[in-house]
Amino acid sequence: MKTPFQRSTAQRQLILEELRGVHTHPTAVELFDLVRVRLPKISLGTVYRNLERLAQAGMIAKMDKAGGEARFDGNIEPHDHLRCVRCGRVDDAPAQAPLDLSSVRADDFGGYEILGHRLTFLGVCPRCRGNETPQPKGE
């Protein structure tokens, strides 16, 4: 993969490392807090800047915002997501749903040139199925 970055910095390295080390699809602020443990002087602006550029470079994925903030995914392999409508958490789907597009005709796509797809299942996570009192997160 070509790197569009001209210099290697500790900040970007750590951001990427932390993002790949978790499977929780963190927000920029959550990632900021993770990175800050090892690099206390990093600024939130730098986290945003790098996430944006890493996403544009295709090295990470920027997810659609369900509630208030954007979430980022260190795993760029195609995979589906599970989102809890109560607490807002997003998990990776253990298996990719079989989406058979072979029978879909070109003009089912309204003239679009298709590059990929995003599939997210909405549901209630195990945690929230237990306690009826919903977590404050989400929309």
Partner DNA sequence: ATAAGTGCAAACGTTTTGCCCTAGC
Partner DNA sequence: GCTAGGGCAAAACGTTTGCACTTAT
Residue numbers of the site for DNA (CB under 7 A)?
Answer: 5-12, 27-29, 39, 41-46, 48-50, 52, 65, 68-70, 139
> At 82, phi and psi to the nearest 5?
-120, 125
Partnered with residue 61 across adjacent β-strands are 73
Residue 48 and residue 36 in contact, taking contact as beta carbons nearer than 8 Å: no
Q: State the amino acid at position 119 in one-letter form.
A: L
Question: Which residue lies nearer to DNA by CB, 17 or 108?
Answer: 17
CA 24 to chain centre: 8
Min dist CB 124 to its own copies, Å, is: 4
- Binding map of its own copies across residues 2-41, x = CB under 8 A, - = no contact: ----------------------------------------
Question: Which residue lies nearer to its own copies by CB, 20 or 62?
Answer: 62
Q: State the amino acid at position 66 in one-letter form.
A: A
